[in-house]
Structure 1
Amino acid sequence: MKVPMGVRITQTTLGNRPCVVVDPAQDAHPGIILYFHGGSYILGSPYTAMSLTANLVSRTNIQSVSLDYRLAPEHPFPAALEDALAAYRGLLDDGVEATSIVFAGDSAGGGIAVSTCLMARDADLPMPAAVVTFSAGLDKTHSGASMDSKIGLDPFFTRESFTYTDAMYLAGQDPNHELVSPARFADLTGFPPLLLQVGTNEVLLDDSTQLADRAREAGVDVILDVTADVPHVFQAFAGILDEADQALDRAALFITQRLR
């Protein structure tokens, strides 16, 4: 993975959790991308997502704040979501307007971005300006047809592989919960605009397609952006895959349009 040159990286805390701030080289535009990394809720960090956050920053000239949330199995559901909501509260308490914040995340982080919106709404907090997800994990019931139809095409996951990571994250809790499986159970009424990017070769494809359906039913502005013949979180391969650069360009345009 390639990280663009020129961005500035610093460490700080937000909501009592470490985070990594990525700033453009110069002339930052107003706004913040609050980013949640992937890793099936059990691994990863802001640094494993650096090719994504830094590329978004370099394309938008908007600062990214990438949260180092707690991981399972030591900290199962809902610890990561509690950290994410605390980070959002922290930004709001610091005087940042909700309309100048975009949630973004890849894989499990995409699920965190969506579920944090649900928690914020239930807590009567203002909604962020938009949500962007890359190959989001949005259904721990794994009921989408793509879980079986994409077997052999997805180079990363199988239905069986989720058995292990889900057991660590859920720790015996019910997957039939809107914060765990928003693509199946969430009411998205009042949600901000959504951009859902995913590849056709992913077993998680229908996590995004099902959430897009729910968003449309709730009257939410949603873009389902599906790219052919690419793997899970293909956007991380910016500078290597043309499709990754093109997808990040579309994501950057979506973000800048929502933060104007």
Structure 2
Amino acid sequence: MDRLPMWKQLLTEQFLRTAIKAPSKFNIPIGSTRFSLEQMCKLFPKDSSVNIRKISLAGLKAEEIKPQDEATQLIFHIHGGAFFLGSLNTHRAFLTHVVAHTQMQVIHVDYPLSPEHRFPTALNALFDVYQELLTQGIQAKDIILSGDSCGANLALALALKIRNEKLPQASGLMLLSPFLDLTLTSESIRFNQKHDALLSVETIQTGIKHYLPNDVDVGDPRVSPIFDDLHDLPPTLVQVGSKELLLDDANRFKEKAEEAGVDVTFKIYTGMWHNFQMFHSWFEEGKKALADLAEFAHEQDKD
């Protein structure tokens, strides 16, 4: 690794450990944590070539991010944040670059967060959004489901719910740094605990506590979709960093999905931490991940 990229990565990792990971180990009020995360995400540069419009879908605040040219393909992205963090504001900049790279429209929604809204409120709300998109005349073959971190959990759970409810399935599924097992039994939680610069065990434990009602077990396939039957899922992209706390959530999903006959495109990015894709502007591995995402999305274009 050249010295400049190496030092840039080391400094970024140190900043993340100090600004995000270390404070997550303390009992900071949720409102303060949400505010701090939104302020930090203002550092991410937006792509100014795209158009952003505020809309409402199935009663939720949402944004439609579109390229300059007309786009028939739509990416329905579900943001991460351990089920209790994240918003339109935290992920807007990243998604402008997804639009610029794919030249596809992105729909991004403010789904109900926990602990104000526990499972299954968020999943049901996202299912309602998907149904509304179909009602508006958008064909399932023109929709790609996407999510990062816990948003990948919800995207996978949504794809499974769509299958179970016998609705037309989306053409593709993109899982970025997925958090799929709430039992926290992935081996990487132990061996990458010190290496992941962004995500702490305390954050995901807090998220699980906020998200689950007392009568829902952490191993329930509705909340830990890695334990569900994965047959009949659409072609799926999985991206994960080698330093991620949740690396083995991705590895285990790949193995199980392929056993179920799912077409899986699996990518590991060397030296990268949780949700590294959002830092793509500064790191080659992040740029590569965005290019890989765009390539996969174009492969799902059935027109």
Shorter-chain TM-score above 0.5: yes
Q: Please tell me the residue identity of whatever aligns with 2:110.
A: D
Contact 2:176 2:240 in 1 (8 A): yes
- Alignment-derived partner of residue 32 in structure 1: 74
1:5 is aligned to 2:27: no
- Offset at 1:29? 2.6
Quote the RMSD (CA, aligned, Å).
1.1
- Alignment-derived partner of residue 221 in structure 1: 263
1:4-25, CA deviations, whole angstroms, 9 ceiling, x for partnerless residues? 111111111112211111011x
In 1, distance between residues paired with 2:294 and 2:54?
Answer: 23
Q: Which runs of 4+ in 1 moved over 3 A?
A: none
In the alignment of these two chains, the number of paired residues is 258
Which residue, 229, 232, 241 being the options, matches 1:199? Answer: 241
Query: Hey, which of these two has a bigger chunk of helix by percent?
Result: 2
TM-score, normalising length from structure 1? 0.96
- Offset at 1:241? 1.1
- Alignment-derived partner of residue 256 in structure 1: 298
Q: Please tell me the residue identity of whatever aligns with 1:22.
A: I
SS in 2 for 1:140: coil
Contact 1:129 1:193 in 2 (8 A): yes
TM-score, normalising length from structure 2? 0.83
SS in 2 for 1:30: coil
- Offset at 1:54? 1.0
- Offset at 1:79? 1.0
SS in 1 for 2:258: helix
Which residue, 149, 154, 168 being the options, matches 2:196? Answer: 154
Larger radius of gyration: 2
1:54 is aligned to 2:96: yes
Q: Please tell me the residue identity of whatever aligns with 1:78.
A: P
Contact 2:82 2:203 in 1 (8 A): no
1:173-229, CA deviations, whole angstroms, 9 ceiling, x for partnerless residues? 21111121112x111111000000000111111111111111101101001111111
- Alignment-derived partner of residue 119 in structure 2: 77
Query: Hey, which of these two has a bigger chunk of strand by percent?
Result: 1
In 2, distance between residues paired with 1:257 and 1:136?
Answer: 21
- Alignment-derived partner of residue 163 in structure 1: 205
In 2, distance between residues paired with 1:209 and 1:51?
Answer: 28
In 2, distance between residues paired with 1:162 and 1:57?
Answer: 29
Q: Which moved more, 1:123-132 or 1:152-161?
A: 152-161
Residue identity (%) = 33
1:187 is aligned to 2:229: yes
